[in-house]
Amino acid sequence: MKKILVLCTGNSARSQLAQGYLQYFAGDRAEVLSAGVNPKGVNPLAVQVMAEDGIDISHHTSNHADEYVHIPFDYVITVCDNAREQCPFFPTVGERIHQSFLDPGHTAPADRPGEDALTSFRRVRDLIKTYSQEFIASRLGEAVPQ
């Protein structure tokens, strides 16, 4: 079984979404954890938009990356630039991967003026879902069917 860690700054949104999708698509072929370099708690909008897509992350917790430095991960995926820059040293990481996503909890990007928080979360969720499905297919074989 592969071990995957997803990191972002607050472990409140992007890494939570990615953890949910990566675990869903990997099924029992991987254990997926998430953490942050400055944990803030799981954002309720992250829970809501994942529930809209049939994935329950309400049981997820927000953890600090330092809690996992002893685990031999096959993959550590950073999903924001800040986490990549502040990522602690994982001595047993097989592969470090960076795929940055905009923070859905902050102001809408300039090309989407007036976008509300829920719409932003849904947009980022959909990007992370596509990335997660492609990641699992390329690293573990075909993703679990939806």
Which CATH number belongs to the domain containing residue 42 in this structure? 3.40.50.2300
Could you read off the pLDDT of 70-124 as tens digits, one per residue? 899 999 999 987 666 666 656 666 888 999 998 887 655 555 666 788 999 999 9
- Evaluate if residue 29 carries a pLDDT over 90: yes
- What is the reported pTM? 0.88
Could you read off the pLDDT of 32-77 as tens digits, one per residue? 999 998 899 999 999 999 999 999 999 999 999 989 988 999 999 9
Q: Which residues are catalytic?
A: 8, 80, 87
Q: Is residue 77 included in any domain, yes or no?
A: yes
The Cβ-side half-sphere exposure at 17, using a 13 Å CA radius, reads 35
Spell out the alpha helix ranges (H) of 27-80: 44-52
How many domains, in total, are found in the chain?
Answer: 1
For residue 31, the enclosing domain spans: 2-140
Q: Which residue(s) pair with 3 in the sheet?
A: 31
